[in-house]
Structure formats: structure tokens, C-alpha cells
Amino acid sequence: MAFVEENRLFGELIRGADPALPVPTCPGWTVQQLFRHVGRGDRWAAQMVAERSEHAIDPRSVGGGKPPADPEQAIDWLHEGAQLVIDAVAETGPDTQIWTFLGPRPSGWWIRRRLHEATVHRADAAMALGLPYELSPALAADGISEFLDLLAQPGSGRPSPLDAGATLHLHASEDTLGSAGEWSISHGDDAIIWDDSHTKAAAAVRGRAVDLLLAMTRRQSAAEAGVEVLGDQPIWETWLERTAF
């Protein structure tokens, strides 16, 4: 399963790293804080699924939410957290409605959410350590789609990332992705509307799927990621300003 593998890769990056090392893409965080965020977040999701929760629980109250002091045991703790999510979904049933920050969703939703929490935070760890980061085109493309799904939910209270009439198209350069590598995005009343069609837009961003993901999640600038921004560039700049989490 991709979630287990991404969790494993994240753990291998963290293993032996200086816990006090700053993580530039997560301002104010250290490697240790990044590690705890991912590991506790998995256990937080697992506990809510296991309890069939209809509301959020306080992450500070999560059972086993603090990693062991021993570095190797801490890595085991990280991996156990991912497995707890998978086991909880299997036990509860993937279609059972559970609280999420987007409203009730099938419990299986949490596996995909935690997967992409791991993919992006693995990038954070790699960049902090000065190491290269790669992700399969299919997984990177799914990460982009998952990110857009989050932004497409109304009622967030945040301004729409696109002004009325503005359109944005993302295009992954890998031909193997087909329509899964196309994202056409437009303004909605209080969110966005998107699909995987190939349409002309006022602004377009093109590059490898992994580089598009890094640029979209503000881990790298378009120039740093090596993606091309065409057309009305202020649309892309506004998008980035309004999608910072």
C-alpha cells in the first residue's frame, strides 16, 4: 500500500537526522516537530476512525501520541501509527461515516489524507536535509487532485483561490498519466470547481507531476521546481497567496 511505503520512506529520512535541524518549508519547525506532527496525526486519525467519532478529538489527548525517546523505537512508533489507521478503517468499515475537517466522510478518506500528509512532509524532510525528493507520477498526480478536492469544499470561510472569471490549468508533462495529469480549475462561489479536462485557461502551469505538487503546496517556487507558468501569471501568484495552510 502506498501509505505504508510513504510512511516507511519518511521514517528512513528522519532516522539519524539531527532532531533540532530547522525545516525551512515549515517555518518554526524542527525535524523533531515535523516527525511528531506526522506520527501523532496518524494516531489521531486512527483513534477517530476506531471510535467512529462524530467530532474532532484533541490531538493532545491521543493515546500513545508521544514518540519514545529512543530513536529506533520512535521510528517503530511512526510505522505503527500508519498501520493503526489502516487497521481502524478495516475494522470500522471503509464506508462508515467519520468526522473530518470537511464534514462527515467515509473512514477510508483518512487513508488518502494521511498518505498525502506523508508525501508532502517527506518532501519537507528531504529539503531540510539537502537530499533529493522524488515521487511517482501517479502518486504525485493524486496528491494534486487530493489537494484540489480539499479546496473545492465550500464553507471554509476562506476567499476563493481564484477571482471570478479567472481560470487556471495544470498540465503534467508525463504522457503516461493521460487525463489524470490534467487539472482545469475555475472560480466557485466560495471554493473552486475543477475537473481533469484539457481546456484553455487564462494561466497555465506545466511540468512534471512531482514538481507541480511541490509548487502547488508552496514547497518550492515555480522556478525552483522547474515548472513553466504561462499566460496571466498574477492568477498563479494569487492562487499561491490564498492557498497557504
For 8-54, what is each residue's pLDDT tens digit? Answer: 999 999 998 999 999 999 999 999 999 999 999 999 999 999 999 99
- Do 117 and 223 belong to one domain? no
State how many domains the chain has. 2
Q: Do the beta carbons of residue 154 and residue 190 sit within 8 Å?
A: yes
Domain that holds residue 167: 143-242
Burial of 231 (0-12, 13-18, 19+ CB in 10 A): middle
pLDDT at 156 over 70: no
- Do 155 and 223 belong to one domain? yes
Q: Do the beta carbons of residue 123 and residue 25 sit within 8 Å?
A: yes
- Do 18 and 103 belong to one domain? yes
Task: State residue 63's pLDDT score.
Answer: 93
Pair type for strands 228-231 and 192-195:
unpaired
State whether residue 198 is helix, strand or coil: coil
- Do 89 and 169 belong to one domain? no
92 is a domain residue = yes
**Beta strand spans in the chain (E):** 97-98, 105-106, 167-172, 182-187, 192-195, 203-207, 228-231
- Pick from 129, 162, 182: which residue ends a domain? 129
Pair type for strands 167-172 and 105-106:
unpaired
Give me the CATH number covering residue 230: 3.30.1050.10
In DSSP terms, 203 is beta-bridged to 168, 231
Task: State residue 160's pLDDT score.
Answer: 86
Give the type of residue at 189: D
pLDDT at 158 over 80: no
Task: State residue 157's pLDDT score.
Answer: 66
For 183-212, what is each residue's pLDDT tens digit? Answer: 999 998 778 999 999 999 999 999 999 999
State whether residue 221 is helix, strand or coil: coil
For 66-123, what is each residue's pLDDT tens digit? Answer: 999 999 999 999 999 999 999 999 999 999 999 999 999 999 999 999 999 999 999 9
Sign of CA pseudo-dihedral 18, 19, 20, 24: positive
Q: Do the beta carbons of residue 216 and residue 198 sit within 8 Å?
A: no
Give start and end residues of each alpha helix (H) in 93-200.
109-129, 137-151
Give me the CATH number covering residue 40: 1.20.120.450
- Do 6 and 124 belong to one domain? yes
State whether residue 173 is helix, strand or coil: coil
